Amino acid sequence: MARGKSLIAAGKKKAAAAAEALAAKAAATPPPPGSPQEPPPEAPRGPTIPRVSLPSSRLAPGWIVGFVFVLLIVGAPWIRELMGHPRSDIHAVRQADAYNALINDLVLKRGWLEIKQRPDGEVRIQPSALAPGDAEGWKAFVRSSYLRVDMTEPGRWLFDDDLGRGARLTEIDPTAHQVLGPYAGTLQWRGDIQFRTGSSGGASLRRVGETRAFLFRPARGASEGGLTTATLNLFKPEEGEGQSLWPRRYRFVDEKEVADVIALDNQNALVRVIGGSPVVVTVAGVEASAGPGEVQYLRLPADRDLVFTRGERAERFVYEVAAPTVSRFEAVSGQRLRAPGLESFARSLEPAVTRRDDRPIVVTLDQRLQSEAESQLHAIVDQLAPAPAFRSAVTMMDGMTGEVLAIASLPVATADQQDDTRGRHRFTTSNHNFDLMPVGSVAKAPLSMAILQTFPALATLEVRPGAPGFRELLGVDLGTRRADGMAFSDTVSGPAWMNFTRFLEASSNKYAAALMLLSLSDDPTKPDQSLPAAPTDCYRISGAQRCQLPVTPILSGQPRGEFGIVPDMAQQRAVPWALELTRLFGVQAEFDRETPRRDTSVWQAKAGGVNLDSPALQALGLERESLGLNVIHDLKGDYLMSTLGGGRSRWSTLRLAEVFSRMVLRRQVEARFLIDAERPPLQPLMIRDEAWKPMMTGLRAVVGPGGTGHEIKLPTAPEGQEYRIFAKTGTPNVDRQQALNPVDLTMMALAAYDCGLKWDTRERQLTLADQSGTTSGLRRAHERVKPICRTVIDGVGVAALTQAFQRIDRMGSGGSAPSALQVDRETGRVLGVSPDAGFDAEKGHAIALAIARYEVGSSDDRPLRALTVAINVQQRSDAIHNPATKVAALLVQDRAVLDWLAQDSPNRVIG
């Protein structure tokens, strides 16, 4: 009100001055001719502004009302709290109720979406025939809303029949999306979110006069080279500059390079000044003297200035070092400075903090390991095609405590994209380590462990290899929707029997499917004498050969058909090992509608200060797996695909890291983000030696010479010690959910219009008009085919078609055509192409591993230090077909990782 009174007083003075000026002007202006002469006014008695004060007095009520109105708006959160309303409903995060209602009450009730299961068992959500596909409004809604991405995530939908045949979508998960409240940012907790104690300081450069600061990535070891660099433009700053990458060096340019700044430690930065620039550089009060062609190095202490001057223009920066923070509240600006790679993580955690004071929240993340995880993920992912957009994630966890040390996620959003609530940047505005993603054969490890724990005798199972593919499995017809007549493909060939170690080492699909099939019996060692024998596909347990399957409800009494016994899935009972999977790894093995979709217990701590029920924290809860082993309608798609990482088998990298920690250490490791000094010791996890020892042998073989992870090399350990790595790789199918696949449609049209599409068995390649699938060959074919075929080819272009032909050639196995092609065996003519061929889609790649340091000769479950890593890259290329393994290979040799492994564990004695 003091400011309001001063404004009113100033208004009165201005009004009085205006009145005196008008009076003087009137006195100086002669009256017009003919007008009556007025006598001069008498001298006023007292103040001369009572009449003029009226307009000023009319301003006062407006000012008061406006000022009160502003106070009501700004103070609304406090007023609501005094009236008993909780803060969180206006300043935190809400669910997307309007979008959810539109989907549930309009789209789903009218049947505009349907469930479809691909031939490979993958489930997808897509528009149905009832959807208004030609309506521009519908197309725009799909493109601009959450729906486009939601259709790629079956886990976000609820079904009336749990993904069985004829299943119908009933509603979308109400917690799938959150929206910022109207007072987001007010009344918020103003403390810092800090990296764990022991992390190096958080250094930054701040441009004086602005709230923005430019963060430095923690320095690497002296032996490591390669500085990531960001460029800052002097005298013409741009929004978002320097933050596209979290760098170790900032380069200042003014048409050409002027100086570089590198953060050395918690006290100093090093400034490298390049002479010959018209810009004068002053470092901590010392003007650089480098001449043309010279370079000068100057020290910039913390809290000192770095000034660039050109003529009359100057820009000043301050080098600041604070506690290493994920998120730092700036009191001057009222804004937050967040680590670029953890922007979405910080934004979800901040509203969930319940502390009334501004004490910091210390998370388990290690700043240096987080930095290295981001760097090594960037190093590989940046070599892959950026479109279509894909997700990548790296989790690093202390295998002996469950403390999460790093959660690198790509792509990373800018601050503007983080604020976008319309879902256009969904891939960039969440940390994908918390999200379910296909993992491929990585799932073979935990599922096999649960099976062996339930049936130890199956650790001695041996089967014949199944390459290139198989439909009959141990006498059972698995059925097929593939053109080549196979149910599954396999990579292991040869006449030798395949044991459990070789199964994990080479990731055999046939062995995994056989293990799953036998484990449906209550006693896999007891043959069912009523079943017909399958002498061409026998198996061995404990060295004894068997050609009859054990007693299994879905097989008992069923006759043998052309390709084996056809199972009766109506007789399916509970999966014997499902409860063991839940006990061992906390995985939700069965469908359960009552269980929350996200598990926020990773934030549980006695003095944590985090509200586990906060809607904002849902994004930082582990998305729960739901394998649905209690509802199996199709043996292949609903059950066998689970161990191959397809269908319902989707896992978060955080869960995989937790699972591998439990498998190796045989302790009840639980992922957590808050350091809890009062946390009780980890309890033993009862795993039989008969199950655990074969699993450890197989996982170690994965990184051996014949394993799928052979690129990963063991680091050198100190004398008397050794490193061991336990790993499992996978190649998941990634459904990009493209509305139309132009390459697949082109291939279908070329077959339908009889354009001369053939499979050459001898050359093992696809041809068009007797021409190979090279660029030159397809150009020649373009001239030879009939006009309608030319039109089809022109629709995608020869370049895209060449890539498709090359991919199809690689998909062929042993000279046989890919399963998506229907080929006349006599002529080789392609009669048709599956609508789900996916010729322009790439698979992803995943790996989970534990690397641990041991005393030589000690047991695998007694390491000195253990780090578990899970990596999922939902894309790959011809040049980099195993990107997750390549990231893992870089990390296990990374200096920061080795330094961490060399330390003594605070939890060396566990349990």
From 92-106, 533-547, 561-575, the region with the lowest mean pLDDT: 92-106
Joined tokens for residue 278: 């018209």
Q: Is the pLDDT of residue 16 over 80?
A: no
Q: Is the pLDDT of residue 858 over 90?
A: yes
Most confident range, picked from 186-200, 314-328, 478-492, 540-554: 540-554
Q: What pLDDT does 457 receive?
A: 95
Q: What pLDDT does 544 receive?
A: 92
Write the pLDDT tens digit of every residue in 67-109. 665 666 556 555 655 555 544 444 445 556 778 888 888 888 8
Q: What is the DSSP letter of 441?
A: G
Q: What pLDDT does 627 receive?
A: 84
Residue with tokens 């578990």: 868
Q: Is the pLDDT of residue 837 over 60?
A: no
Joined tokens for residue 452: 């062996």
From 16-30, 131-145, 298-312, the region with the lowest mean pLDDT: 16-30
Joined tokens for residue 48: 């001369």
Write the pLDDT tens digit of every residue in 353-372. 888 778 889 999 998 899 88
Three-state secondary-structure class, residue 28? helix
Q: Are strands 361-362 and 193-194 parallel, antiparallel or unpaired?
A: parallel
Strands (E) located in 443-506: 462-463, 469-470, 472-473, 476-477, 488-489
Q: For the residues of 201-244, what is the DSSP string, one character each? A: PEEEEEETTSS-EEEPPPP--TT-----EEEEETTS--TTTT-S
Write the pLDDT tens digit of every residue in 620-639. 999 888 888 888 888 887 88
Name the band, by pLDDT with cuts 50, 70 and 90, for residue 871.
Answer: very high
Q: Taking residues 138-159, what's their average pLDDT?
A: 77
Contacts with 652 (C-beta within 8 Å, 6 or more apart), sequence order: 433, 434, 435, 436, 437, 622, 623, 625
Q: Using CA atoms, how far apart are residues 624 and 652, in angstroms rounded to an integer? A: 8
Q: Is the pLDDT of residue 900 over 90?
A: yes
Name the band, by pLDDT with cuts 50, 70 and 90, for residue 333.
Answer: low
Q: Taking residues 315-338, what's their average pLDDT?
A: 79
Q: What pLDDT does 218 receive?
A: 65
Q: What pLDDT does 484 receive?
A: 53
pTM > 0.95: yes or no? no
Q: Taking residues 380-385, what's their average pLDDT?
A: 86
Write the pLDDT tens digit of every residue in 21-66. 544 544 444 554 444 444 444 444 444 444 444 444 454 566 666 6
CA 752 distance to own-chain centroid: 40
Q: Taking residues 808-820, what's their average pLDDT?
A: 63
Q: What pLDDT does 27 receive?
A: 47
Phi/psi for 575 (5° steps) reads -75, 120
Q: Are 308 and 234 in contact (CB under 8 A)?
A: yes
Joined tokens for residue 311: 């003529």
Three-state secondary-structure class, residue 613? coil
Query: What proportion of the chain, given as a percentage, has pLDDT over 90?
Result: 28
Angle among Cα 20, 21, 25 to the nearest 5 degrees reads 115
Most confident range, picked from 385-399, 503-517, 554-568: 503-517
Q: Taking residues 858-871, what's their average pLDDT?
A: 96
Tell me the C-alpha to C-alpha distance, in Å, between residue 795 and each of 133, 741, 744, 841.
21, 12, 12, 18
Three-state secondary-structure class, residue 382? coil
Q: Using CA atoms, how far apart are residues 884 and 653, in angstroms rounded to an integer? A: 12
Q: Taking residues 825-853, what's their average pLDDT?
A: 76
Three-state secondary-structure class, residue 383? coil
Q: What pLDDT does 186 receive?
A: 41
Name the band, by pLDDT with cuts 50, 70 and 90, for residue 739.
Answer: very low
Q: What pLDDT does 116 receive?
A: 74
Q: Are 773 and 805 in contact (CB under 8 A)?
A: yes
Q: Using CA atoms, how far apart are residues 887 and 890, in angstroms rounded to an integer? A: 5
Q: What pLDDT does 159 receive?
A: 67
